[in-house]
């Protein structure tokens, strides 16, 4: 008990000391440190607000500029599109005018794709095969020589003539690939006794290379004879004589397209 009584003032002292300490601390805070801390905080806060305002302003500026640039670009693109559409319409008009005023263009530039109306141009009309400076048309229909010549003329040409070895090789190969052994009329015609052989355009056959199977003796036969191509093994010996009234397949020729 005495021990406790002894200790009470001690405890009181300690308690007082604590209270005293706390009081001291409070006083210091209000007067010095805390006030300074609040001011600093306020400073930081206003600085933060200022920075935020600046950033917001910058962002707004950026946005405005982007919008302006975008609008300018889309205006430019609209102008370009309108210009291109206008040019396309003009081209389309010229294109249609060209094909309506020059119907022959349809022959040389036929529509190759009906879906897209795409055209492909060639030096020869559709169906004709280009070779050298000519176009050739092989027909599987049979007719006599005169009918064949008329038919070729209505197609803008004549029965095929052979002026060079290249042409001979080409015709021989093509005839072989189309029908082994079948005969095709060439533009060869004898003009009766002693008249000699002529091409369908009236020129003399003797002036160019010849590929007769057997040299025809024009003096021996006064009948009208015509020449055919029968593609055998040897292209050098593939022209034969035939009665002009025989019905054979045919080859027409015409010149390639030229703007001169
Ligand atoms: C081109 O003109 C023709 C008629 O003139 C029309 O039918 C067609 O739609 C036009 N095409 C374009 C792409 O304008
Ligand atoms: C036509 O053109 C269309 C589109 O390009 C394509 O799909 C089609 O195969 C073409 N047809 C022919 C026959 O070339």
Q: Are residues 143 and 82 in the same domain?
A: no
Q: Are residues 10 and 77 in the same domain?
A: yes
| pLDDT at 39 (0 to 100) | 87
Cβ–ligand 2 distance for 114 under 6 Å, the answer no
User: 28, 63, 90 — which closes off a domain?
Assistant: 90
Domain count, the chain: 2
Domain assignment present for residue 100? The answer is no
- Locate 124 and state its tokens: 């020869």
Q: Are residues 56 and 160 in the same domain?
A: no
Pocket test for ligand 2, best of 113, 117, 120 (most atoms within 8 A of CB): 113
Compute CA distances 84 → 75, 91, 95, whole Å: 14, 10, 16
Q: Rounded to two decimals, what is the model's pTM?
A: 0.65
Q: What spacing in Å lies between the alpha carbon of 93 and ligand 1's midpoint?
A: 8
Q: Are residues 173 and 233 in the same domain?
A: yes
User: 32, 67, 90 — which closes off a domain?
Assistant: 90
Cβ–ligand 2 distance for 113 under 6 Å, the answer yes
Q: Are residues 28 and 145 in the same domain?
A: no
| pLDDT at 28 (0 to 100) | 53
Residue with tokens 């593939």: 238
Q: Are residues 170 and 250 in the same domain?
A: yes
Domain assignment present for residue 28? The answer is yes
User: 90, 119, 150 — which closes off a domain?
Assistant: 90
Range of the domain at 36: 1-90
pLDDT tens for the chain, 260 residues: list them.
Answer: 555 555 555 544 544 544 444 444 454 566 667 778 888 899 999 999 999 999 999 999 999 999 999 999 999 999 999 999 999 999 999 999 999 998 888 888 889 999 998 998 889 998 999 999 999 999 999 999 999 999 999 999 999 999 999 999 999 999 999 976 799 999 999 876 667 899 998 888 988 899 999 888 766 566 789 999 999 899 999 999 999 999 999 999 999 987 65
* Residue 118, φ and ψ in degrees, nearest 5: -70, 140
> What's the pLDDT tens digit per position in 74-118?
999 999 999 999 999 999 999 999 999 988 888 888 899 999 989
Domain assignment present for residue 118? The answer is no
């Amino acid at each position: 008990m005495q021990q406790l009584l002894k200790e009470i003032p001690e405890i009181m002292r300690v308690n007082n000391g604590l209270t005293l300490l706390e009081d001291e601390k409070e006083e210091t805070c209000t007067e010095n440190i805390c006030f300074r801390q609040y001011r600093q905080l306020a400073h930081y806060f206003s600085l933060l607000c200022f920075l935020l305002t600046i950033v917001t302003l910058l962002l707004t500026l950026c946005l405005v500029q982007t919008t302006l640039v975008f609008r300018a670009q889309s205006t430019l693109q609209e102008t370009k599109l309108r210009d291109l559409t206008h040019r396309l319409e003009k081209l389309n008009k010229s294109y249609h005018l060209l094909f309506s005023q020059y119907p022959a263009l349809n022959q040389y530039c036929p529509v190759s794709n009906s879906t897209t109306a795409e055209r492909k141009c060639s030096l020869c009309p559709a169906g004709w095969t280009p070779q050298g400076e000519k176009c050739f048309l092989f027909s599987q229909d049979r007719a006599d020589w005169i009918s064949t010549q008329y038919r070729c003329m209505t197609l803008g040409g004549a029965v095929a003539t052979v002026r060079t070895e290249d042409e001979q090789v080409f015709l021989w190969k093509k005839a072989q690939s189309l029908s082994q052994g079948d005969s095709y009329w060439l533009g060869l015609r004898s003009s009766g006794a002693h008249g000699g052989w002529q091409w369908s355009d009236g020129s003399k056959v003797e002036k160019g290379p010849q590929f007769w199977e057997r040299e025809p003796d024009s003096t021996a036969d006064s009948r009208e004879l015509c020449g055919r191509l029968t593609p055998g093994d040897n292209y050098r010996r593939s022209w034969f004589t035939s009665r002009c009234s025989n019905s054979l397949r045919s080859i027409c020729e015409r010149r390639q397209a030229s703007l001169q």
